[in-house]
Amino acid sequence: MTLEDMRASDRYADLFILARYFYRIGEPIMDDYEYEELLLNVRKCCSQQISDYLDRTYDDDPIPLKLLNEIGVEPISIKHDDSRERLFQYLNSEKSLSIDSVTSYGEAYTFFSKYREEKKDLMVSLKMDGDNVKTLYLDGNLELSLSRGRNAGISFDFTDTVKRVFPNSIMSVPHELRIYAEAYVEEDYLETLRRKYNPNGYKTCKSAAISLLRVQHSKEDYEHLRIIVHGIDGLGSSVSEDFQEAEQKGFSVVEHKLVPWEDIPVDKTQFREWLKREVFDYFEQKTDGVPSDGIVVEVNDKTYTGITAGQYSSRQLALKFEQWAFKVYKGIIEDIIWEQKRVLASCRIRIKPMRTDDGCSANWINAFNFSIVVNEGLDKGSEVYYVRNSGAVNVLVYGVELDRLLGR
């Protein structure tokens, strides 16, 4: 059995599980359009079969051993000595959480107002677009560094490579300290990596970081690997205290700003003006060379746990609008392809190839429904607008949503 055999037999659920696994290890088996179409299919046809996958991050997926064996692929094994096994299990014992996002001032106002009323200061920081890294220090010594996830069988051991960037030992800390960070490679260095190792690899700052963390590279390459701390457990009682202590101990910390609850405007109009000026415009000046896909807002008081529902916590939120809204791209249609498969139909638009800001080539746009193409009067040679969603998929935008994104 091959992946093509699975595609031909419409094994949507199995393909979906495999796609998540290979994306997780930095070796995707399908392009953005195909993955988005696959996700639509599994939601419609076999949502119960993959419900667990839809309710968690791909970091927490088990290794699909049976499926990998079926297609003749050896799973990537984690090699570590027996003495480290206990630490693997321990560091992977907690659940990975994702950050829920909002795309409007109204939704942001609801969140900020809640914590103004509860008199809780908020920490605002850049949302890094890198590879997740969690590191365990015991008695001040760096003992283990892993990729995010609770399953020890799929957590990559980054310890040796992270030691090239992080302090190997730190003073005046508790017995146990957990550091959460995002890793990326400087964008200007990607072309050098391609010339040195693989002209078709190292496409983005994030994927290049995955490569440097998983596989030993030359010493000079690690001078361009950035591992930025965004969370700490076991140090202080507030996020601001954590960041200050971490910087003093030699870590690079995410760009951040403390917002006292008293500074949050009550009036909605004033709040909009304040958020634009004090958050969006402020952090726009801090993003030069830093891959970022939003702004994170969280309660500064770490003793406040909030409510956890599924993979999300109520104590934090991501803002993905204004300067961090999905960028609208304009393309020229070369062809429109409508395809009726055994179960579902699909519609996609081929555009003149262009390069998006994340360094990827854009050739296709997911139009989902052919009726949209007809109603919008789209044809070969027409201009068409699209955004890159959070899964790096090109998605058609039109009508009211397009007017909103273009500020019409």
* Per-residue confidence (pLDDT) for residue 167, from 0 to 100: 96
Q: Which CATH superfamily is domain 328-406 in?
A: Nucleic acid-binding proteins (2.40.50.140)
Given a cut of 60, is residue 3 above it in pLDDT? yes
- What residues have CB less than 8 Å from 91, skipping those under 6 apart? 134, 136, 144, 146, 155, 178
* Per-residue confidence (pLDDT) for residue 379, from 0 to 100: 92
Given a cut of 70, is residue 286 above it in pLDDT? yes
Mapped onto helix, strand or coil, the DSSP state of residue 318 is strand
Say which residue, 45 or 382, is predicted with more confidence: 382
Say which residue, 52 or 352, is predicted with more confidence: 352
pLDDT digits (tens, 9 = 90+) for 159-196: 999 999 999 999 999 999 999 999 999 999 999 999 99
* Per-residue confidence (pLDDT) for residue 206, from 0 to 100: 87
Q: Quick one: which of 72, 34, 90, 125 has its CA closest to 391?
A: 34
Residue 151 — very low, low, confident or very high, per pLDDT cuts 50/70/90?
low
pLDDT digits (tens, 9 = 90+) for 342-373: 555 678 899 998 877 666 678 888 887 788 88
Written as six digits, the tokens of 274 are 């304040």
- The alpha carbon of residue 349 and the mean position of all alpha carbons in its chain are separated, in whole angstroms, by 26
For the CA atoms of 134, 136, 142, 145, the dihedral, rounded to the nearest 10 degrees, stands at -30
Average pLDDT, stretch 59-78?
80
Q: Could you give the CA distance from residue 124 to residue 255 in angstroms, rounded to a whole number?
A: 9
* Integer-rounded Cα radius of gyration of the chain: 22
27-31, 57-61, 91-95, 343-347: the lowest-pLDDT one: 343-347
The average confidence (pLDDT) of the chain is: 85
Q: What are phi and psi of 97, to 5 degrees?
A: -115, 145
Q: Could you give the CA distance from residue 33 to residue 26 in angstroms, rounded to a whole number?
A: 17
Q: Which fold has domain 82-324?
A: D-amino Acid Aminotransferase; Chain A, domain 1 (3.30.470)
pLDDT digits (tens, 9 = 90+) for 206-236: 889 988 998 889 999 999 999 999 999 988 8
Q: Which amino acid is at 81?
A: D
* Per-residue confidence (pLDDT) for residue 183, from 0 to 100: 96
Given a cut of 80, is residue 32 above it in pLDDT? no
Mapped onto helix, strand or coil, the DSSP state of residue 82 is helix
* DSSP 8-state assignment for residue 376: T
Residue 147 — very low, low, confident or very high, per pLDDT cuts 50/70/90?
confident
Given a cut of 60, is residue 319 above it in pLDDT? yes
Mapped onto helix, strand or coil, the DSSP state of residue 60 is helix
